[in-house]
Amino acid sequence: RDQRERVLDQVHFGFECRTFSNLAMSIHQRYIDNNFSGTSHDAYEANVRLFHAIAFCFLMRYRNPQVVITWENPEASMWLHPLMRLIERPEQEGGLGLLRASLDFCRFSDRKPLKPTHF
């Protein structure tokens, strides 16, 4: 097979939480009035990485309809981003059909319960 046609069985994205975290909201200005896209250069770069990651997932799903795709980010503003709607939208409606679940396991918390993380 051509190197460009490789098929993956599993794809996992663990995005840097810096621009999507609740603590960084005032810095990156990810609010409803700007569609949670933010105003800082770091937020712009995170949006570009998010767009490319979603496009990659669609490519992998096209090449292998059985590919397992997982995403991970702290329970904060990332799930409100408009691009994330493509991830949760059912496949028959043009999305990836992923389900969101919350787990309390973030290693950056030493208090119980641990900081919730979306998968």
Span 72-93, mean pLDDT? 83
CA dist list (Å): 22 to 30, 37, 39, 110: 9, 14, 15, 18
Number of domains in the chain: 1
On whether the CB atoms of residues 14 and 74 are closer than 8 A, the answer is no
Q: What is the pLDDT of residues 8-62, one digit of tens each?
A: 889 998 877 777 777 777 777 777 787 777 788 888 888 888 889 999 999 999 9
pLDDT at 85: 86
Q: For residue 111, name the pLDDT band (cuts at 50, 70, 90).
A: low
- Domain membership of residue 55 as a residue range: 3-118
The encoded tokens of residue 115 equal 């900081």
Sign of the Cα pseudo-torsion (107, 41, 34, 92, in order): negative
- At 9, give phi and psi (nearest 5°): -95, -25
98 against 93, higher pLDDT? 93
pLDDT at 109: 59
- pTM (two decimals): 0.77
Q: For residue 91, name the pLDDT band (cuts at 50, 70, 90).
A: very high
In which element (H, E) is residue 70 found? strand 68-74
